[in-house]
Each structure stands twice: as C-alpha cells, then as structure tokens.
Chains A and B, each alone.
Chain A
C-alpha cells in the first residue's frame, strides 16, 4: 500500500510532512516528555514488531496472498500513540534501507497507515463495547480499509494538482475513478485476513494478561 517517492506532488507531500511532524512531536511529548529506559526499547521492539507483522503473508482466496499491515494489533494492545510512532519508524527504515515507500511520501504514509489506521482500529473497538471479537475484527478490517481509501484519495487527486498546460500529468497519472477501485478492492479482502490475524493475536495477548 505504500506510496513510493516521485508520484506525489510537493503540494501534497510538503503539507503532509508538516502535519506528520506536528503529530510526531505531540506523540513523543505524550510519552512522558522524553525517551527513557522504558520507552526506547519498547518503541524499538514495537517498530520491529510492526515490521515483522508486515512480513506475515495473509492468505487470500485463489492461492494468492497480501501482507499484513500489523497496525491494528499494535494499536489495540499498546495504544494509538505507540503504534503510530512505531509504524512511522518502520516506514522511515523501509524507505531508506529497503527502498519500499519513500522519504517524500513518508508523511502521507505515516498519517494514513500509522495514525488513521491505528485510530480506526481503536475507535471501532471502543464503539463495539463488550463485544470483544466483533470490535477487534471490525477495527482491524477498518485499519486496512480506511488507509486504503485515504491513500487512493491522495493518489487520485495528483492529476488535478500537477499537470502541464496540455493536460499531461506530472506525478501520479490516474484520477479517483481508477485509484479508488484499484486500491480499495484488494484491501477489502486483505482487511478480512488482517481481522482474523488481529483476533488471534488479541486473544493470545489476553491469555498472557497483557491486556484486561
């Protein structure tokens, strides 16, 4: 789902970087005002966990598979802020070390997958009240679908933001009519597999008493 470098216009990624920078600052400030002996290792290992969950291949009907986002289990077990920070660090490392995603797109990717994905999961879980399994499944499904919709919107408006006078695009070439179905439809299925994965991890975390 990551947007790579070069497809987003500066009118998109520069404000997104600004917004993400504010969100990162508030998140770090919220973690007891500084990194300390509890937060540094926890953030580091959550980052590795987010990366590791992203490597877990989720089976899709027909023998194919997609990879998990892993934001939902992290957000449901550890909270929105740690999940957002950890996922942002994953995106930075993926962009610089592995060429997946991009440094210009980091702000958009972090806000959509990290912040919106984590928030969608936690809000859905809270709205579900005592229906634990339903809340986790719907939250995990939304943690994939909401970022997919947002990323499709961001990609789909690029032809409007950057094009030559003759109409030739300068950045991502397809409008919303293409990006919304192309990004959303596969993620509706990936969301179902992510929900099953998140539920298994959630039940495991409860058995280990990491959560009430």
Chain B
C-alpha cells in the first residue's frame, strides 16, 4: 500500500472513531491498535500518553468536580473521552512511525516540498530557541525579571525573522540550482 493510501486510511479511521461512543468498543480498538503496532508499541504508547496527559487530566478533573457537585457525574464519560483521545493520538503517532509523512503528501508535490523544507527549518529554529533560553538562564544569577524575559522574547522573535528571510532566499537558490523548478 502506498504512503498516500495509508494517509487516506488513517483519515477515514480517525473520522470513524469519532462516531463510536461505547467505551468497550474503543478499548477493544485501542488494544488492537497497540497490538498491531509491533515492537514500537511501548514507545508509541508512552508518547501518546505524554501528549494528552495535560489537557485530558485538566478536562477530566474539571468534569469530575463540576459534574460531581451537580450530582451528574458519569464515570462512563471519563472512560469514553480518555479512551477516544488516547486511541486517536496513538493512531496518529503509529501512522507517522510507519509511514513517511513527506511521501504521504506526494499527491501534492508543492505541499510535500514545503513540508520537507519546513521540518528542516523547524529543527533549526527549535535549537535556536533552546540556545536563547539557556543564554538567558546563564546570564541571570537571579530569576530574570518580567522586562528581562520580555526583551529576551522579542530578541528571539527578531532573530527568527532574520533567519527566516535568509533561509527562504537560500532555499530558493538551492532548489533552483538542483533543477527543482525545471519543467
């Protein structure tokens, strides 16, 4: 099966899952997905749990509190929402683990090229932001003040803008020199 067909299958599965409202059925589907993920299952499950824990915990605790006070608490709802979100996020990570996302976007060559360049730039920008954070900490014997942190944030923004404009020009030249835009 091609990467694009995997993408289509993933999209259909995601839509179908949002029509399932039985916790048992979702638990069964989650077990099937985890079992089908092979050796990567533990790592994928850990990543999925880490990705959802903050939002889901907030919503779940909020629901338990509000619904409990109103006498409307339904444990089935907590099971339903947490299983559904975990299953959807797990499927997303499994899809990306199994299929090359750039190949999956090959039905739109422009989109695939933009995604390829963007992912490379994103990695470089993440490193820059990390360096800025470490630099601020190393320059601050005491916790930095609000104005120090604001100055640091604006310096990060300006630096990203400069790097972006330079990177766009470089990418265009590099792609042209490799014949990317030749008909």
Q: Which residues of A contact B (CB under 8 A)?
A: 4-10, 13-14, 28, 34-49, 51-53, 55-59, 61, 63, 65, 68, 70, 73, 77, 89-90, 92-93, 95-100, 102-104, 164, 166-174, 178, 193, 196-197, 200-201, 204-205, 208, 210
Contacts and interface: CB of A to CB of B under 8 A. Distances in A.
B74 interface: yes
A10 B124 CA distance: 36
A93 B19 contact: no
A168 B72 CA distance: 8
B129 A5 contact: no
Contact of A53 (B15, B59, B88, B157): B157
Contacts of A97: 96, 101, 119
Contact of B143 (A36, A63, A96): A63
B110 A34 contact: yes
A170 B118 CA distance: 36
Contact of A168 (B11, B77, B121): B77
Contacts of A208: 162, 165
A9 B160 CA distance: 37
A84 to B, nearest CB: 14
A39 B84 CA distance: 38
A56 B62 contact: no
A52 B125 contact: yes
Nearest to A102: B88
A59 B153 contact: yes
Interface string B129-170: 100010000000001001001100110111011101101110
Contact of B164 (A45, A59, A90, A173): A45
B51 A193 contact: no
B29 interface: no
Contacts of A6: 18, 81, 84-85, 88-89
A201 B153 CA distance: 10
Interface of B: 10-11, 14-15, 18-19, 21, 47-48, 51-52, 55, 59, 62-63, 66-67, 72, 74, 76-77, 80-81, 84-85, 88-89, 92-93, 95-96, 101, 109-111, 113-122, 124-126, 128-129, 133, 143, 146, 149-150, 153-154, 156-158, 160-162, 164-165, 167-169, 171-172, 175-176, 180-181
Q: Which 3 interchain pairs have the tightest Cβ spacing?
A: A35-B110, A99-B51, A48-B121
Contact of B149 (A10, A59, A95): A59
Contact of B121 (A28, A39, A40, A45): A45
Contact of B118 (A37, A44, A98, A102): A44
A39 B172 CA distance: 9
A52 B160 contact: yes
B146 A201 contact: no
A89 B118 contact: yes
B51 A104 contact: no
Contacts of A205: 161
A178 B84 CA distance: 22
Given A68-B153, A173-B67, A48 B164 contact: yes
A148 B19 CA distance: 27
A59 B89 contact: no
B14 A37 contact: no
Contact of B88 (A5, A55, A65, A77): A5
A169 B122 CA distance: 38
Nearest to B146: A59
A167 B129 CA distance: 46
A55 B129 contact: yes
Interface centre among A42, A70, A89 (most CB of B within 10 A): A42
